[in-house]
A and B are shown apart, each in its own frame.
Chain A
Amino acid sequence: MLNRNEPSNEPDPGDEDITEPDTASCPEACDCCTPDPYRSTAYDGGGTEGESIPQYYDDIPLDEDYLVQVPEIAKLDDESPFVESDAKLKAEMKLKTVTRSMDGDVLIVGAGISGMQAALDIADKGYRVILIDKSSTIGGNMVKLDKTFPTNDCSICTSAPKMVEVSRHPNITLMTYAEIVDLQGDAGDFTAHVYRKTRYVDPDKCTGCDDCAEVCPVDVVSPFEERLARRKAIYIEFPQAVPIVYTIDYENCVGCGYCERVCEPEAISFLEKSEDIEVKIGSVIVATGYELFEPLEMRREYGYGKYPNVITAMQFERLLSSFGPTEGKAKRPSDGESPKSIGWIQCVGSRSKQLGFPYCSRVCCMYATKEASIVKEAEPDTDVTIFYMDLRAYGKDFQQYYDKAQDMGVEYIRARPSSVFQNDDDSITVRYMDTHTREVQDKTFDMLVLSTAIMPSSENKKLGDMLGIDVDENGFFKVESVMDEPIETTREGVFLAGCNQGPKDIPDSVAMASGAAAKAMEAIIDRDQVVPAEKPKEKETKGEKPRIGVVVCHCGKNIHGFLDTVEVADYAKSLPYVEYATDVMFACSEDIQNELRKLIDEQDLNRVIVAACSPVTHGGLFQDTLVEGGLNKYLFEFANIRQHCSWVHSHDREVATEKAKDLVRMAVVKSSLLEPLSQEEVGVIPRVMIIGGGLAGMRAALALDKMNIESVIIEKEDALGGQLSRLHSLFPLDVKTSDIIDPLIEEVKSSDKITVKTATTLKELKGFIGNFEAVLETPGGDENLEFGTAILATGFQEIDLNGRYGYGYSDKVMTQTELEEKIKDGSLERPKNVVMINCAGAMEPERPYCCRIGCGVSIKNAKLIKDAHPDSDIYILYRDIRVFGKDEEEYFTDVIENRRVKIIRYAEDNQPTVEIDETDGSVTVNVYDQVYNKEITLPADLLVLTAETEGCVETEDIMEMFKVPSGAGKFFIEAHAKIRPLDFATDGVYFCGSAHFPKNLADTIAQAEGAASRAAIPIMKGKLTLEGITAEVVPELCSGCKLCITACPFSAIDLNEDGIAVVNAALCKGCGLCNATCRPGAIQQKGFNDHQILSVIKGSMNEVY
């Protein structure tokens, strides 16, 4: 199997002797995880059972010495020019670089998911973004992951489209392999220097064919593969890398020149120089991400680096990834066997000041749960165990995900293992004390995974010094004010996004990135927007006889190696209406695009077909070329002869060729029936309606104000402030809510761009993105409001405990919010014994989720009482303490250790009970302590219930009117749990704050500013271009039966006064459901109408049609 990838001296793609490609692939292979057109032997970790993952630690000694040696990766870094002294670097830069300058509006440093999101948000508003990344590809850490919790979406599948969007966006200048080296000036007028290292490969010429890597004789340990595999000295990091341009790793290149000789497009140039680029911008966003804790010196008791079968969770992600070294199969590094048992140890490097970092790393509980579930799903017999301290399933749908993992058989043991040792068969034994049974036990696994913490990048200090921004005591970038400005750095005009200021999960990072995009707008808002490039005039083709041009792509050997493209092109020529057909090496290359534009003109073509890969990845590229050539983009048709033909029938050249001919014929039939479609444009009313005048709504309005956008806040209560105004102070910084909310209300009221309507609710709504019309119910009667986009910031409420735990039966029993109201107005009398019950009404079948904020609130309120009344005894009864992220863990530890607040853990199936004595009104709580295994009775002067939360009562009406969904606990459901956390599937409607899910102040602000950024995009665009593929009605055929109206999921169809169906093109998404439902065929989906599809069916069968 390995032979197939060996450098061949017979490059003839037509060679009969093509070895069968590897068909073994991961069972969970997903869209973009091409397991490898590019993988070379060196890092083909072996798909065969029983083969070890051999190159694993080849040159990293496995003995104790390794622990004191500089690890391989660090060594590579040490040799990179950036670690050398500044003087030397500068001297070298002068020698080896050319200088040029560039103007932009915002510079974004780091192109992981956060950097990409921020770039798109700004570029979509019409401003110029310069996006740089020090790696040779964009995508960051997210693309390394196999799947993402809690939806198990394939990570690369969701990030790849964003990567492509970034690279194709006309307002984004993307520079990879580049670093920022200097930043001078002030907000609005920065001058930065970017050092773009040469990759010795011309990006315009490189087609990403992998011929160079095949012949490269140098193997390098791959940092992308977490050292589990190797790559060549000329490489792309992974098959879906953007840009797909190879890079010569100068440090490891031996200069043999093999790559240069085999490179057909002559893309390799050893003379290409690095560049020093002077960049003038108005704001800077730093999105440089994080590193993972290396358990080498600290936490060496877990045997990482010493025992081959102890790996980190990120390494395990690479094993699970279908384009990773084992093609998605969990295998033991020592022998390549499938492990029958796997253990995870949590909190490696986190929650310990002595052995790593004091904070909770926020994502590890869930990623370990995810990894364990994936293993369990693929191999149900595998024994999977997670050793945890507190299982922090705090986020939206996290608890349900955790419950599901337990149902699947993932075992959770509450223990922090003390040591780990290796047995003769390379298995690993973990020694731990179960905190429930308090017994020391051993458990043996075939493989052990360490859930290592997110830690600040080691370059933060240096980068911070250069950028003039501070780092905190852990090494993360410091934010201006955690409670006030969680996105701003200590330097004006420089903003943060993602994990470089503390651990975050993907949706929080994406929301923050959108927030940073909003912030970055402030300094550049008065600049002119980019005027979109003038499109060439569209040729009139309606009514013309079809004149089709067909381009058949070889895709190097990817198509031509398995079928005869020349024969396919010749066949295409014989088909009706085909004026021109040709076969080309790479249809997607820049010169072929130019060629195509010329062909359209010279051959007077009015239809184009490309027979190549997939419309999903390349459709947009060719459509753009058509437009540049003066043709309507809907006159393009794709024949997928790679993914749907050459790659899946690679064993039979003749059969594949015949099928490719059929596919081309079908495309010709379709193409001959295509018609140019117009894309209508609609204007956008430049006003945002915000529902909810709490913190989120107000912060969103202020962010919009800074972007010069008008907004109207609708608040149902008589005053602004929302939930926050009921509270006393906030976890974890003990800030008084009044210090936050009062200035905010003042600022909102003094803005001339914000209108506040209190005691007002939404009564009626019609319209769609760009043009909504609402009727508001105000104290002064009904009012009309027109707006372009809407932000829902409706917040949350505590559930009605309905008599549970004695709630409502005694004055001594209250919720946390009620307690805070008492503390706030000073009416709380000195309590002696205080009992708090966490998770009241939470994580039960009716409300299966964790409320995310309750643990923090209870700890903060315990501290408040204790500080006011030091002799009070306070007991917090909890299920898991879920304080996560920076500062929270530290706060918790302080309260427990220094305030002597006692915590008692109870089990899910053995909840505390409350007795209220009818005679004297005394309250007693009985709880079974899970840690000490005994029943405890606590008298309570004050019983505080940390009640479960839910979305606001109005949610249902709003759902109905805006046609947006909500899920568990009436919290709104976002368009995508990971990468579109602030959008709804319905265009033009966004949401933020606790309407999404309860969250702390910093996360709420980040989301609110993010939602403002999202809602500002359509408004700043000024007009919206609608989809061309929509439904249209032939009025003569319509009988007015309304079936289409029932079928349409988007309410895009109505009957006009003549009883005929009419389609609102702005709402129609072009699904074609109406078309399939309409009996007389009166409503037709443009581009997929009945005639077109029926003809293609016919064309698929018959040689001649």
Chain B
Amino acid sequence: MTDEWDPKIIGFLCNWCSYTGADLAGTSRLQYPHNIRIIKVMCSGRVNPQFVLKSFQEGADGVLVSGCHPGDCHYIEGNYHARRKLTLLKDLMDFMGIDDRRFQVSWVSASEGHKFAEVVTKFTDQVKELGPQDKLRSTTDVEGGGK
């Protein structure tokens, strides 16, 4: 099982900096692990802690949130909201029995393709070390919808 296990990582990227930074990693032809699935949000401040927990519940082994550097937010202060909220969430991870290293917040600007590739690579390695995340993974569908 562990031999075949391939971590699943969800990345919430803000439209203005990190998503474009990820684009740049592509245009620069940088290579990084394939595990991340990127979900675009307009601002990192849009990321509700619920999204992170839902990701773990759906089977993610790691969650990355990335936005503009503090001070550079396209919406003036959205990333400060993200920072405050998500720091608190990170503190609560242990309480929920999840290793908080499975959850990371990084600031990546539109010109930091290299940084993006680096962040994803390191984070993926870290999640790989931690092994599969089972704590929050739901076995039944909590939403009640058909599987």
- Nearest A residue to B48 via CB reads A1076
Are B54 and A985 neighbours in the complex by a CB distance under 8 Å?
A: no
- Nearest B residue to A22 via CB reads B29
- Segment with Cβ contacts to A, from B16-24, B98-106, B123-131: B16-24
Is B69 positioned at the interface, with any CB of A under 8 Å from its CB? Answer: no
Q: Bound state CA distance, A311 and B85, in angstroms? A: 51
Interface size class of B (residues with CB under 8 A): 35 or more
Is A283 positioned at the interface, with any CB of B under 8 Å from its CB? Answer: no
A644/B110 contact (C-beta < 8 A), A25-B29, A1071-B42, A1076-B46 known: no
Which of B28, B32, B46, B111 is within 8 Å of A1072, CB to CB?
B46
Q: Bound state CA distance, A1104 and B10, in angstroms? A: 17
A1072/B22 contact (C-beta < 8 A), A30-B110, A1097-B55 known: no
In the assembled complex, the CB of B1 is this many whole angstroms from the nearest CB of chain A, namely 18
Are B43 and A656 neighbours in the complex by a CB distance under 8 Å?
A: no
Is B27 positioned at the interface, with any CB of A under 8 Å from its CB? Answer: yes
- Give chain A residues whose Cβ lies under 8 Å from the Cβ of B85: 1076
- Segment with Cβ contacts to B, from A121-129, A410-418, A646-654, A998-1006: A646-654
Are B114 and A1073 neighbours in the complex by a CB distance under 8 Å?
A: no
Which of B24, B30, B76, B77 is within 8 Å of A23, CB to CB?
B30
Are A1088 and B76 neighbours in the complex by a CB distance under 8 Å?
A: no
- Segment with Cβ contacts to B, from A97-105, A659-667, A716-724: A659-667
A643/B41 contact (C-beta < 8 A), A650-B31, A985-B76, A1085-B46 known: no
Is A35 positioned at the interface, with any CB of B under 8 Å from its CB? Answer: yes
Are B81 and A1076 neighbours in the complex by a CB distance under 8 Å?
A: yes
- Give chain B residues whose Cβ lies under 8 Å from the Cβ of A322: 28
Which of B22, B28, B37, B114 is within 8 Å of A666, CB to CB?
B37
Q: Bound state CA distance, A643 and B38, in angstroms? A: 11
Is A455 positioned at the interface, with any CB of B under 8 Å from its CB? Answer: no
In the assembled complex, the CB of B95 is this many whole angstroms from the nearest CB of chain A, namely 20
Interface size class of A (residues with CB under 8 A): 35 or more
In the assembled complex, the CB of B135 is this many whole angstroms from the nearest CB of chain A, namely 16
Is B26 positioned at the interface, with any CB of A under 8 Å from its CB? Answer: yes
A1077-1105 CB mask vs B (1 if < 8 Å, else 0) is 10000000100101001101110111011
- Give chain B residues whose Cβ lies under 8 Å from the Cβ of A1093: 39, 41, 51
Q: Bound state CA distance, A666 and B85, in angstroms? A: 26
Are B32 and A648 neighbours in the complex by a CB distance under 8 Å?
A: yes
Are A1101 and B27 neighbours in the complex by a CB distance under 8 Å?
A: no
Are B81 and A29 neighbours in the complex by a CB distance under 8 Å?
A: no
A1073/B60 contact (C-beta < 8 A), A21-B29, A25-B114, A644-B26 known: no
Q: Bound state CA distance, A380 and B110, in angstroms? A: 24
A230-272 CB mask vs B (1 if < 8 Å, else 0) is 0000000000000000000000000000000000000000000
Is A1075 positioned at the interface, with any CB of B under 8 Å from its CB? Answer: yes
State which residues 64-122 of B face A: CB under 8 Å: 74-78, 81, 85, 110-114, 117
Is A640 positioned at the interface, with any CB of B under 8 Å from its CB? Answer: yes
Q: Bound state CA distance, A655 and B8, in angstroms? A: 13
Are A29 and B23 neighbours in the complex by a CB distance under 8 Å?
A: no
Is A1029 positioned at the interface, with any CB of B under 8 Å from its CB? Answer: yes
A141-172 CB mask vs B (1 if < 8 Å, else 0) is 00000000000011001000000000000000
- Give chain B residues whose Cβ lies under 8 Å from the Cβ of A25: 28-30, 113-114
Are B24 and A31 neighbours in the complex by a CB distance under 8 Å?
A: yes
Q: Bound state CA distance, A651 and B60, in angstroms? A: 24
- Give chain B residues whose Cβ lies under 8 Å from the Cβ of A74: none
In the assembled complex, the CB of A1052 is this many whole angstroms from the nearest CB of chain B, namely 11
Q: Bound state CA distance, A655 and B36, in angstroms? A: 12
Is A1047 positioned at the interface, with any CB of B under 8 Å from its CB? Answer: yes
Is A1049 positioned at the interface, with any CB of B under 8 Å from its CB? Answer: yes
Are B27 and A32 neighbours in the complex by a CB distance under 8 Å?
A: yes
- Give chain A residues whose Cβ lies under 8 Å from the Cβ of B114: 25, 27-29
Is B45 positioned at the interface, with any CB of A under 8 Å from its CB? Answer: yes
In the assembled complex, the CB of A327 is this many whole angstroms from the nearest CB of chain B, namely 9
Which of A27, A616, A1072 is within 8 Å of B41, CB to CB?
A1072
Q: Bound state CA distance, A30 and B22, in angstroms? A: 10
In the assembled complex, the CB of A352 is this many whole angstroms from the nearest CB of chain B, namely 37
Are A1049 and B77 neighbours in the complex by a CB distance under 8 Å?
A: yes
Are A35 and B29 neighbours in the complex by a CB distance under 8 Å?
A: yes
In the assembled complex, the CB of B12 is this many whole angstroms from the nearest CB of chain A, namely 9
- Nearest A residue to B60 via CB reads A1101
- Give chain A residues whose Cβ lies under 8 Å from the Cβ of B76: 985, 1049-1050
A845-877 CB mask vs B (1 if < 8 Å, else 0) is 000000000000000000000000000000000
Q: Bound state CA distance, A649 and B34, in angstroms? A: 7
Q: Bound state CA distance, A22 and B42, in angstroms? A: 32
Q: Bound state CA distance, A658 and B34, in angstroms? A: 10
In the assembled complex, the CB of A962 is this many whole angstroms from the nearest CB of chain B, namely 14
Is A303 positioned at the interface, with any CB of B under 8 Å from its CB? Answer: no
- Nearest B residue to A638 via CB reads B40
- Give chain A residues whose Cβ lies under 8 Å from the Cβ of B24: 29-33, 643
A1071/B75 contact (C-beta < 8 A), A31-B23, A643-B23, A1076-B81 known: yes
A665-695 CB mask vs B (1 if < 8 Å, else 0) is 0100000000000000000000000000000
A663/B34 contact (C-beta < 8 A), A616-B23, A642-B26, A1072-B45 known: no
- Give chain B residues whose Cβ lies under 8 Å from the Cβ of A662: 37
Q: Bound state CA distance, A616 and B75, in angstroms? A: 17
A1097/B39 contact (C-beta < 8 A), A640-B23, A985-B76 known: yes
- Nearest A residue to B13 via CB reads A644
State which residues 13-68 of A face B: CB under 8 Å: 21-23, 25-35
Which of B34, B43, B47 is within 8 Å of A659, CB to CB?
B34
Q: Bound state CA distance, A102 and B8, in angstroms? A: 57
Are A644 and B22 neighbours in the complex by a CB distance under 8 Å?
A: yes
Is A900 positioned at the interface, with any CB of B under 8 Å from its CB? Answer: no
- Give chain B residues whose Cβ lies under 8 Å from the Cβ of A1029: 42
Q: Bound state CA distance, A153 and B46, in angstroms? A: 26
In the assembled complex, the CB of A1049 is this many whole angstroms from the nearest CB of chain B, namely 4
Are A1094 and B42 neighbours in the complex by a CB distance under 8 Å?
A: no
Q: Bound state CA distance, A131 and B104, in angstroms? A: 47
12 interchain pairs (CB within 8 A)? Answer: A28-B111, A30-B24, A30-B113, A643-B25, A648-B25, A648-B117, A1049-B77, A1093-B39, A1094-B54, A1100-B8, A1101-B58, A1104-B147
Given contacts A1069-B75, A1073-B75, 20 further A-B contacts (CB under 8 A): A23-B30, A25-B113, A29-B113, A30-B24, A31-B27, A33-B24, A614-B23, A644-B22, A647-B29, A662-B37, A1049-B77, A1071-B42, A1073-B46, A1076-B48, A1094-B54, A1097-B39, A1097-B55, A1097-B58, A1098-B54, A1098-B58
A residues neighboring B (CB under 8 Å): 21-23, 25-35, 153-154, 157, 322, 614-617, 640, 642-645, 647-652, 655-656, 658-659, 662-663, 666, 985, 1029, 1047, 1049-1050, 1069-1073, 1075-1077, 1085, 1088, 1090, 1093-1094, 1096-1098, 1100-1102, 1104-1105
Closest A-B pairs by Cβ, 7 of them: A643-B26, A30-B111, A1072-B46, A1071-B75, A34-B27, A647-B26, A25-B28
